[in-house]
Amino acid sequence: MMKCLAEIIGLEKDLEVMKINLSLREDFNLLDAYALLDVKGNTTVSRSELRNALLSFKICMTDDDLNLLFSQYSIDGTVLTYSNFSDAFLP
């Protein structure tokens, strides 16, 4: 049990470092990143829209990855808003 908790804490620390590093990059901002995913421009991104947008960049997400992302950050479990997206990426 303790080993599992230590691993979770380590992963969360690593994720936080990655978020900080991403936020410091001059060539990245959340609004432009979200716009790449919201291809319809309707201010929300569904699971299928996210999967298709990421596939266009040759990034593959499994169903488990999508379920985890949407269960963690989507208010209703079906779409991501810009606010949800920001919550996922801001340190």
Per-residue pLDDT of the chain (91 residues; tens, 9 = 90+): 788 888 888 888 887 888 788 777 888 788 898 998 998 889 999 999 999 999 999 999 899 999 999 999 998 889 999 999 998 888 7
Look up the pTM and report it: 0.71
Report the number of distinct structural domains present in the chain.
1
Between CA 11 and CA 31 the distance in angstroms is: 26
- In which domain, by residue range, is 49 found? 28-89
CATH number of the domain at 81, please.
1.10.238.10
DSSP, collapsed to helix, strand or coil, labels residue 44 as strand
Q: Which tokens hold the place of 55?
A: 């596939």
In a domain, 16, yes or no: no
Long-range contacts of 25-33 (CB under 8 A, 24+ apart): 30/82, 30/85, 30/86, 30/89, 30/90, 31/82, 33/85, 33/89
Q: Is residue 76 part of a domain?
A: yes
